[in-house]
Chain A
Amino acid sequence: MSSCNGEDPRILDIKSKIRVVPNFPKPGIMFRDITTLLLDPVAFKNTVDLFVERYKDKNITVVAGIEARGFIFGPPIALAIGAKFVPLRKPKKLPGEVISEEYVLEYGTDRLEMHVGAVEQGDRALMVDDLVATGGTLCAAMTLLEREGAEVVECACVIESLSLKVSYEYV
């Protein structure tokens, strides 16, 4: 679900701070760039605050952020709600023992990895990324958490790509 109902002025401000860069990373793609949001301390704080307000009373024990832009939003949320932060990374970046999950790209596949032991049976998890489009990366992320026994409470993203209709049932 989108929380953009036009009533919270913080959301409209956040939306206005996100920049669209045409034809990146390739022709035809209108890239939604959150770096301009990060340049506005008030808008960036409002973004984090909105998530913290939503999740602080949901007994979340793990915030899992997807490399690399999920690393920007996830840790401040984790710190504010008292949860641990777990990075989900591209292959071969995490040292030590990992589990990995494949997901589909437009051309080919990629993999997401998580440390073995980062989460435990019964952990309540929040997934964080900057943007959701097809949901492929989030699906891989959720699977990693669930394979280790965590319960995924919700997936939170700053932006929902408006060009695609997304189903919110990831079961």
Chain B
Amino acid sequence: MFAAENGLRGDPRLQVISEAIRVVPDFPKPGIMFQDITTLMADHKAFKHTVDIFVERYRDMDISVVAGVEARGFMFGPSIALAIGAKFVPLRKAGKLPGEVISESYVLEYGTDCLEMHVGAVQLAERALIIDDLVATGGTLFAAIGLLERAGAEVVECACVIGLPEVKGKFRVNGKRLYVLVEPRQIDDCC
């Protein structure tokens, strides 16, 4: 569900956030309008609004784990975790985490990839929030949910800054609630 349809309609912070995101055409390949959040993080006010909105939503949900998907989920997740008193768990590409891991594969446009989490990072019945910068097909979030649930955690919600049109009207990914701040910018929106 989008934030504007879930209590934040008219919240001026959403427009500040949306306007701070840059669209880069044809990246990583022709035809893709890449939603670049680095300009959001270079705008302190907009970046703070982003974190604040998530913190306001999750601070009273008894969340003990914030899991961030590598690498852009690392840029948002820790600040949220710190503010709500939760631990931060990085979900990483294959071979990056040292020690014992569990892994979950997911489908790419061509081929598959793999997400890993440390064994012992989460405990049975912990309440978890999953964070990434953007959701498109939901494939990566699917894998992230799989990892958390295999470890016995309850995924309370998946949260992303940007949601592509595929998720409009969808409230869930693999049965888990999805919360998104803004829709993608179009190239014409940018000055």
Seen from chain A, the residues whose Cβ lies within 8 Å of a Cβ on chain B are: 19, 21, 24-25, 31, 33, 35, 38-41, 44-45, 48, 67-69, 71-73, 75-76, 78-79, 82-87, 89, 92-96, 115, 118
Contacts and interface: CB of A to CB of B under 8 A. Distances in A.
B27 A96 contact: yes
B76 interface: yes
B106 interface: no
A79 B41 CA distance: 9
A112 B75 CA distance: 18
A66 to B, nearest CB: 11
B97 interface: yes
Contacts of B28: 92, 95
Interface of B: 22, 24, 27-28, 34, 36, 38, 41-44, 47-48, 51, 70-71, 74-76, 78-79, 81-82, 85-90, 92, 95-99, 118, 121
A85 B41 CA distance: 5
Contacts of B86: 41
Nearest to B45: A82
Given A71-B75, A79-B79, A84-B42, A38 B88 contact: yes
A87 B99 contact: no
Given A38-B88, A96-B27, A21 B79 contact: no
Closest 3 CB pairs of A and B: A21-B98, A95-B24, A24-B98
Contact of B87 (A41, A73, A84, A92): A41
A76 B79 contact: yes
A85 B50 CA distance: 14
B99 A115 contact: no
Given A44-B88, A95-B27, A82 B41 contact: no
A86 B71 contact: no
Contact of B98 (A25, A39, A86, A87): A25
Q: Classify the interface of chain A: helix, strand, loop or mixed.
A: mixed
Chain B: interface secondary structure?
mixed
B38 A86 contact: yes
Contacts of A38: 78, 81, 87-90
B158 to A, nearest CB: 19
Given A71-B71, A95-B34, A35 B78 contact: no
A132 B41 CA distance: 24
B148 to A, nearest CB: 14
Nearest to A19: B99
B75 A75 contact: yes
B74 A76 contact: no
B44 A72 contact: no
A102 B24 CA distance: 25
A86 B41 contact: yes
A45 B24 contact: no
A92 B48 CA distance: 27
Contacts of A39: 87-89, 121
Contact of B51 (A25, A79, A84, A89): A79
Given A39-B87, A79-B48, 8 more contacts: A21-B98, A67-B71, A75-B47, A75-B78, A79-B47, A85-B47, A86-B38, A95-B27
